[in-house]
Amino acid sequence: MQQKASSQKLPKSAPPHGPWKRVLLKISGEAFCKEGGHGIDAAETNALAETIKGVHEAGRQVAVVVGGGNIVRGAQMAETGINRSTADYMGMLATVINAVALQDALERLGIPTRVQTAISASQIAEPFIRRRAIRHLEKGRIVILAGGTGNPWMTTDTCAALRAHELGAEVLLKATKVDGVYTADPKKDAKAERFKRLTYLDVLNKKLKVMDATAISMAMERSLPILVFDMKKPGNVLRAVQGEDVGTLITND
């Protein structure tokens, strides 16, 4: 099918501090369950959908990469003796389950969505097609990206950086349990301070546990800003896309 030329236009590059029009939101699997839990918790999933609805209603284009760690983490599963690549494919399938759960929750709120997956699941999701994903975003649909990169030995963080480049997202919003990157674990150390800004090289050199090194390097290549923030704090996602001072912003300088 012939695509309209206009449908492939990406947003003009935005300042590294926001506000951002097209965002790539990375949600880890753990956001789908209660802290320390496993599987899918309906209330947590509905809350995620409500939060994404707020960003959608603020006129932002949102692509969501979902993780699968609440169901299967390949590296951990491999410790039980399962072949690592097989375990990783299981992990990718787990992300499809989360994606469909999120789609259902969003559609119950009346938000149009499409799930695209990097591994075939043709009965429930479209395959990942970059140009089609961009078109969905332009039409105001939330695009939920499942199946990671489709390759074992990789993570959904790396997938998030890759898809952000492909879809022309202006920022990678990395939702975490704490509001940004801290000098120490803020849940254990009352003196821990939040870094407001970091460079990609700070993260790599200090081995800060933000995202895996492949994801950071990939973001660095195109100076894609990464904002690490707490998505469960009320109003935080909206503040994040508006470029307000939440979380930790990672850029080149």
| Contacting residues toward ligand UDP, per CB under 6 A | 28-30, 67-69, 73-75, 87-88, 91-92, 94-95, 148-149, 151-152, 154-157, 159
Whole-number minimum distance, CB 151 to ligand UDP, in Å? 5
Q: How far apart (Å, rounded) are the C-alpha atoms in residues 242 and 26?
A: 17
Name the residue nearer to ligand UDP (CB basis): 16 or 215: 215
Whole-number minimum distance, CB 91 to ligand UDP, in Å? 2
Task: Indicate the SS3 state at residue 113.
Answer: strand
Q: Residue 209 carries which side chain, given as an amino acid letter? A: K
In this structure, is the dihedral angle defined by the CA atoms of residues 78, 187, 171 and 138, taken in order, positive or negative? positive
Whole-number minimum distance, CB 234 to ligand UDP, in Å? 22
Whole-number minimum distance, CB 222 to ligand UDP, in Å? 19
Name the residue nearer to ligand UDP (CB basis): 175 or 243: 175
Q: How far apart (Å, rounded) are the C-alpha atoms in residues 172 and 166?
A: 12
Distances (CA, A) of 142 to 60, 79, 251: 10, 36, 26
Distances (CA, A) of 156 to 5, 27, 29, 49, 147: 30, 9, 10, 19, 8
Name the residue nearer to ligand UDP (CB basis): 120 or 242: 120
Whole-number minimum distance, CB 117 to ligand UDP, in Å? 11
Name the residue nearer to ligand UDP (CB basis): 90 or 198: 90
Name the residue nearer to ligand UDP (CB basis): 8 or 83: 83
Q: How far apart (Å, rounded) are the C-alpha atoms in residues 67 and 77?
A: 15
